[in-house]
Structures are given as C-alpha cells and as structure tokens.
Amino acid sequence: MFFFKKKEIPLSEVFPEGFVDIHSHLLPGIDDGAKDLEHSISLISKMYSYGIKNFITTPHVLGDVYPNSSETILNKLEEVRRELLNKGFDDVCINAAAEYMMDEKFVERLKNDDILTLKDNYILVEMSYFNAPYNLYDILFEIQLKGYKPVLAHPERYNFYHNDFQNFYKLKKAGCLFQLNLLSLTEQYGKGVEKTAQKLLSENMYDFVGTDTHHINHLKLLQKIGTLKIKKQIEYLLENNRKFTQKKEAI
C-alpha cells in the first residue's frame, strides 16, 4: 500500500494578489489579539511574508468584556498605520471594522448607527459559543432593516448547530452571509469544527474567508492550509474577499 503526501505549497501561492483578510485581531491592547504595538507589527509582518498585504482588522466589541467604541478602534488603527510606515511597510493597506457580538448593546449601537462596516454595508457579527441569542432572527432582521448585510463569523465554530444542519440553511435563508475561518480547516478548533467546515464548503455555503489571527501560533498553524487541495477548495472564496479592497489612506 502506498501513501501519498499532500502536495504542500507556500502560503504566498495560496493567497492571490489583492486578497483582503476581513477577520483578524491586530490592533494593540483592546481585545484578546495583539497585546501591544510591537506585537501588532510582528503579526502583520508574518502575514506579509505569506502574501497578505490588505487587512480589515476586526477587534471584538463584546458587552463589558471588550466595550470598544468606534473611536477607540479608529485611534488604535492610526497608531498601527503610523508604525507600519515607520517600519517601511508602505505597501500594506490596513483598515478597521469590528467583530460585533449580537447582544443587547449591539442592538443599541445598531439603533444609533454606531457601526464600523467591513466595506459599504457589510457587518461582521458573531454569537456566543454556548448558545445563539434567543432573539437571533429578530437581530438579523433589524440589521437588514437598517440597510446592512450580516456576515456571520466562523459559523462552523458554533458547536450547538453541529447536530442539526438545518440551522445553517435557516441562517442563510434569513440573509446571513458566512465567513469561514481558515484555521477551521486545521485541527485548531477540533475535529467537529473541521468536519462541519468541510460540509459547509462542499455545499457552497460560504461567502468569504478570514484568518481570525490573534497571535503567532495561529499564523504558524495557518501554514497547514498550504496544500493544492485546500487552495482549490477555497479559491473562489479568496477571490470573493477581493471585493473588500479599499484605497490605502495617507497618514
């Protein structure tokens, strides 16, 4: 019996020119991602070596745990932009939105139009890993009533849906776009998540991808998606991400 090793390729051959990573935690000291400015630049530098030069980074906005205001996020973004220029990364384009927990405080933000979008009217949202909000479909309706499009971060990671796939169909029918965490195609979150991600991929239910980078271990593990098989699986999603291309803003 012969065993064939997966054909490995460098990540710079996986990510196309103009790819935009729409989910990461690269702003310093405001959530569970980059701890300080040096850490931010280190992560971006590593991603740059993978061929990722365009970012819409998305710090958590989560109740009293990460009560980040739009102003806080944008101020931190300017810090990172200035430091990137100081370090010579003048071809990196970084903007910021947020990863919004769909809770009562988010509903208030929505009412006040205090929302940072990925681009145009796309909002990155998430749920608790323990259970969906009791009024989930009301929130999704309100998002769309305000003219926004909800992009649900990492649907494959909501374990409470794994045994009833109908929930995913229902979310799509309710107008949810799906964003795959690329690390879900590795062992990072467990076999159940990996299996669900593969099923969602096979049914063409994803719309976009993101790295969801928090720290260097994520980026080391990300190298495992560097295979011809995975590249072929996600090629159309990587291309979809290019719709979020934004102009590099001067500091």
- What pLDDT, on a 0 to 100 scale, did the predictor assign at position 97? 98
Is 5 part of a structural domain of the chain? no
Is 1 part of a structural domain of the chain? no
Is 3 part of a structural domain of the chain? no
Is 205 part of a structural domain of the chain? yes
- Sign of the CA dihedral 106, 240, 246, 12? positive
C-alpha 136/C-alpha 30 separation (Å) is: 26
- What pLDDT, on a 0 to 100 scale, did the predictor assign at position 202? 97
Is 235 part of a structural domain of the chain? yes
Give the predicted TM-score (pTM) of the model.
0.95
**173 burial via Cβ count (<10 Å: 0-12, 13-18, 19+):** exposed
Spell out the per-residue pLDDT of the chain, length 251, in tens. 444 456 899 999 999 999 999 999 999 999 999 999 999 999 999 999 999 999 999 999 999 999 999 999 999 999 999 999 999 999 999 999 999 999 999 999 999 999 999 999 999 999 999 999 999 999 999 999 999 999 999 999 999 999 999 999 999 999 999 999 999 999 999 999 999 999 999 999 999 999 999 999 999 999 999 999 999 999 999 999 999 998 766 55
Phi-psi region of 3 (alpha: psi -120 to 50; beta: other; left: phi over 0): beta
Domain count, the chain: 1
Is 214 part of a structural domain of the chain? yes
DSSP string, 175-204: T-EEEEEGGGGTTTT-HHHHHHHHHHHHTT
Is 2 part of a structural domain of the chain? no
The single-letter DSSP state of residue 54 is: E
- What pLDDT, on a 0 to 100 scale, did the predictor assign at position 228? 97
Is 250 part of a structural domain of the chain? no
The domain spanning residue 211 has which CATH number?
3.20.20.140
- What pLDDT, on a 0 to 100 scale, did the predictor assign at position 5? 52
Domain around 142: 11-244
Residue pair 23/210 in contact by the 8 Å Cβ criterion: yes
